[in-house]
C-alpha cells in the first residue's frame, strides 16, 4: 500500500536560515508524483512544489527545493532563507501515475510537519 511518512511533528527555524522537512514514501509503482503543500492557520492548502518520479533533476520553485532521492524513497523539502510567513503546517503527498490503468488522481498525504519560524 502507498504511504507517506513525515517523522517531524514540529520544527523550529531561525528567520533567514534554511530548513529541511523530511518525507519518505512507499509505493510499488514506477510512475508517481510527489507534492508539497503548505497549510497556514487559515486552513487553505497552498501548492508549493512537484517532483515526478522520472524527473532527473530536483525540482525548485523560488525558495523551495525538493531533495529527491529515489533509491531511498525520500522527497525532502528544503526552504531557504526562512521568513516569518513560512510558519505553517507542511504536507508531503504522493499521487500514482499508473499508465494504462484507472488513475484516481487521489493524493495520499502524510501527517504533516508544523514549522515555526523564530524572529
What residue ranges bind other proteins (CB under 8 A)?
4, 33, 35, 37, 42-45, 47, 50, 91, 95-97, 103-107, 109-112
Minimum distance from residue 21 beta carbon to other proteins (Å) = 14
Q: What's the closest the beta carbon of residue 17 comes to other proteins, in angstroms? A: 25
Select 14 or 30, whichever has its Cβ closest to other proteins.
30
* Closer by beta carbon to other proteins, 1 or else 71: 1
What HEC string does the chain produce?
A: CCEEECCCCEEEEECCCCEEECCEEECCCCCEEEEEEEECCCCCCEEEEEEECCCCCCCEECCEEEEEECCCCEEEEEECCCCHHHCEEEEEEEEECCCCCCCCCCCEECCCEEEEEEC
Least Å distance, CB 16 to other proteins, is 28
Amino acid at each position: 500500500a502507498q504511504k507517506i511518512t513525515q517523522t517531524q511533528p514540529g520544527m523550529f527555524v531561525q528567520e533567514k536560515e534554511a530548513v529541511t522537512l523530511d518525507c519518505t514514501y512507499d509505493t510499488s509503482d514506477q510512475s508517481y508524483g510527489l507534492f508539497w503543500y503548505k497549510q497556514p492557520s487559515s486552513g487553505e492548502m497552498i501548492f508549493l512544489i512537484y517532483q515526478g518520479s522520472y524527473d532527473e533533476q530536483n525540482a525548485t520553485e523560488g525558495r523551495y527545493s525538493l531533495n529527491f532521492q529515489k533509491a531511498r524513497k525520500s522527497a525532502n523539502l528544503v526552504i531557504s532563507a526562512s521568513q516569518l510567513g513560512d510558519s505553517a503546517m507542511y504536507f508531503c503527498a504522493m499521487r500514482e501515475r499508473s499508465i494504462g490503468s484507472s488513475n484516481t488522481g487521489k493524493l495520499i498525504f502524510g501527517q504533516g510537519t508544523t514549522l515555526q519560524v523564530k524572529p
